[in-house]
Amino acid sequence: MAPRMRIAELKALSEKPQGYRRAGVMALFYPGPDQLAHLLFILRNTYPGVHSSQIGFPGGQQEQGDRNLLQTAPRETEEEVGVPGGRIRPIRSLSRVYIPPSNFEVSPFMGICEQTPHFRKQDSEVAEIVQVPLSDVLSDSHLVTRRLTTSYAADIEVPAFHLNGYIVWGATAMMLNEIKTMLRTFF
C-alpha cells in the first residue's frame, strides 16, 4: 500500500535521518452501535503540516513521561478521542513505519475496547471521529487507486482504502493492510 514515490524514497535511505521522532498509534477495535466489530480512525484538523486533513489512527509523539510507545499509543488515544487508556486492552504491535515527510517512526498497536466507547474528540487536533465497520476494512471492494496532491507532493498516484467516504492512504493504509492481511489468515 506504499505509493511508488515512497518506496523509491525509502530505498534511497540507508538509515533514518538523525533526529527522527517516535510516535505510537492505536488501531482500536470495539463493538459499534450495531454491536458488530468496528475500527476507529480520526480525521486530523487542517493545519500547516504534512499530515493536515488526513485520516489516521489516533496517536502521537512519545513524551518524556512515557515508558515506551505501548504507553504512548493509549495515552494519545485518550487525549484525542476520549477513550480511557485503561479500557483499551493491547493485543499486539504491528510493523513500525518510517514516514520521511514528517521524520517520524510510528509504532502501531492493535487494541480492543470491549464496550462501545463514548467518544469525545479533542477539537484542537481532531476534526472528526470516523467509525468503520471491520467488514469494510476486510472487503477488497474498498481498495482503490487515487491521484492526490499533498503539502509535499503534487499529483501522486497512491493505493488506498475508500472507507466511509474518506481516502485512507500512506502510512495508515500500510498499517491497515497489515491488519487486513493478518485478520484474513484467521478468518
Which spans in the chain are helix H?
A: 4-12, 69-81, 134-138, 170-186
* Cα–Cα distance, 19 to 178 (Å, whole number): 27
* DSSP-derived secondary structure letter, 150: -
* Cα–Cα distance, 86 to 71 (Å, whole number): 11
pTM of the entire predicted model? 0.89
End-to-end CA distance of the chain: 21
Q: What's the CATH code, domain 4-13+21-186?
A: 3.90.79.10
* DSSP-derived secondary structure letter, 87: G
| pLDDT, tens digit, 9 for 90 and up, residues 97-114 | 988 878 889 999 999 999
Task: Note whether 153 and 170 are within 8 A (CB).
Answer: no
* Cα–Cα distance, 125 to 2 (Å, whole number): 25
| pLDDT, tens digit, 9 for 90 and up, residues 66-75 | 999 999 999 9
Q: Is the dihedral of CA 141, 32, 96, 156 positive or negative?
A: positive
User: For residue 23, what are the β-bridge partners?
Assistant: 61, 106
| pLDDT for 115 beyond 90 | yes
Sort strands 104-112 and 143-148 into parallel, antiparallel or unpaired: unpaired
| pLDDT, tens digit, 9 for 90 and up, residues 116-173 | 999 999 999 999 999 999 999 999 999 999 888 766 667 788 899 999 999 999 899 9
Query: Which residue's C-alpha cell is 474528540?
Result: 121
* Cα–Cα distance, 172 to 104 (Å, whole number): 13
Which sequence spans correspond to the domains of the chain?
4-13+21-186
